[in-house]
Amino acid sequence: MARFESVDDVVTRLRGADYLADTGIAGVVFLADRLEKPVLVEGPAGVGKTELAKATATVTGSRLIRLQCYEGLDESKALYEWNYKKQLLRIQSDREHEASWAEVEADIFSEPFLLTRPLLEAIRAEEPIVLLIDEVDRVEVETEALLLEVLSDFQVSIPELGTIKGHQRPRVFLTSNNTRELSEALKRRCLYLHIDYPDIEREREIVRVRVPEIDEDLAGQVASVVRSVRQLDLKKAPSISETIDWARTLLYLGRHEIDAEVLDETLHVLLKYQSDLARAHKELGADRGPGLTTGTTG
């Protein structure tokens, strides 16, 4: 599997997967590769946290295994579970053959009756793996402890089968939307990466990479208007994915220039709350009412 040579190498290769990383992001990805540590990625929704894991999987030729977290996620959904129903059938079909309990037991607690879940799958994999534990802030503290155990040793003990140890350390990404404070113990074991909204140059590049048909000028305009919108006091600032959607919308509409009229028609692609829309219309002068007062001087 291809390891990263340097921070610049990370940038170049991620770019090949259409992911534009700044030095901060690339630096952490590189370090994670060297120190073999999981990366905890935090940031507002829609800045490309999950994308980063996917892009890393692509450029390192790894398989992506994803564990989507939710409240109530437990061991049986994250790690492994015995297939009760199949075991039951097995026992019932055995009744005629008079097999001893020891035989049956050895039989029903074996591979074919094991349902592997993402974590176990990642540990047992032979090929390079990127393990994405998405929205880890949604699980309860107890489940977090389970994750901790797996992440620090990369081994799992199944009482009936013994300890299963990984052949290699997968690259691990945990993402969090910060709906709760993660435990210090988890944070200690991870490298921490906070991804924020990109600066204007990077956002322009992202738009150009993800929407290749767009011309440079329009991409620049898109990025500057989005920056302007983000500076307003909003409930939910537009994310990168929304910026990209907006750029696509403009293309479909055949617009090459953003003016108040276009903005008025398409702002709802960027902003999802009525109050945010109203505020943006007011502040950016997008409703073209008489007596505009925004920015009278240069």
Partner 1 sequence: MTLRSYNVPGPRPAGVALAEDADMLEVLQGFVHELRLAGLPVSMTENLDAMQAVAHVPISDRAAFRSALAATLVKHHRHQRAFDVLFDVYFSLHGALPADGSGAEAAAEGTGGPPGDGGGAAGELSDEELADLLLAALSSMDRDELRRLAGEAVTRYAGMEPGRPVGGTYYLYRTLRQLDIEGLTARLAALAEASAPTDERDDPLATRIRREEHEQRVRQLRELVEAEIRRRLVADRGVEAMARTLRRPLPEDADFMHASRQEMRELQRAIEPLTRALAARLAQRRRRRHRGQLDFRSTVRHSLSYGGVPAEPKFRHPRPSKPEIMVVADISGSVASFARFTLQFVHAMAGQFSKVRSWVFIDGIDEVTRFFDEADDLTEAVHRVNTDADVVWVDGHSDYGHAFEVFHERHAREVTPKTSLLVLGDARNNYHAPQAWVLEDLRRRGRHVYWLNPEQRGYWDTGDSVIADYAPHCDGVFECRNLRQLQQFVTAVIER
Give the residues lining the site for partner 1 (CB under 8 A). 7, 23-28, 30-31, 34-35, 37, 39-40, 42, 71, 84-85, 88, 137, 140, 178-181, 184, 187-194, 200, 221, 224-225, 227-228, 231, 233, 235, 258-260, 263, 275, 278-279, 284-286, 292, 294-295, 297-298
Q: What does DSSP say about strands 80-82 and 129-134: parallel, antiparallel, or unpaired?
A: unpaired
Cβ nearer to partner 1, comparing 123 with 286: 286
Task: Report how far residue 259's alpha carbon sits from residue 33's, in angstroms, rounded to the nearest whole number.
Answer: 45
Instruction: Give the pair of three-digit tokens for residue 209.
Output: 């990479």
Kindly list the distances between the CA atom of residue 23 and the CA atoms of 9, 30, 31, in Å, as whole numbers in the listed order: 11, 10, 12
Task: Report how far residue 195's alpha carbon sits from residue 44's, in angstroms, rounded to the nearest whole number.
Answer: 8
Cβ nearer to partner 1, comparing 58 with 183: 183
Cβ nearer to partner 1, comparing 155 with 178: 178
Cβ nearer to partner 1, comparing 64 with 258: 258
Nearest approach, Cβ of 176 to partner 1 (angstroms)?
10
Nearest approach, Cβ of 35 to partner 1 (angstroms)?
6
Nearest approach, Cβ of 279 to partner 1 (angstroms)?
8
Task: Report how far residue 111's alpha carbon sits from residue 121's, in angstroms, rounded to the nearest whole number.
Answer: 13
Nearest approach, Cβ of 39 to partner 1 (angstroms)?
8
Instruction: Give the pair of three-digit tokens for residue 130.
Output: 């990127």
Nearest approach, Cβ of 26 to partner 1 (angstroms)?
8
Task: Report how far residue 129's alpha carbon sits from residue 171's, in angstroms, rounded to the nearest whole number.
Answer: 6
The H or E element containing residue 194 is strand 191-194
Cβ nearer to partner 1, comparing 190 with 244: 190
Number of H helices and E strands in the chain, helices first, is 14, 9
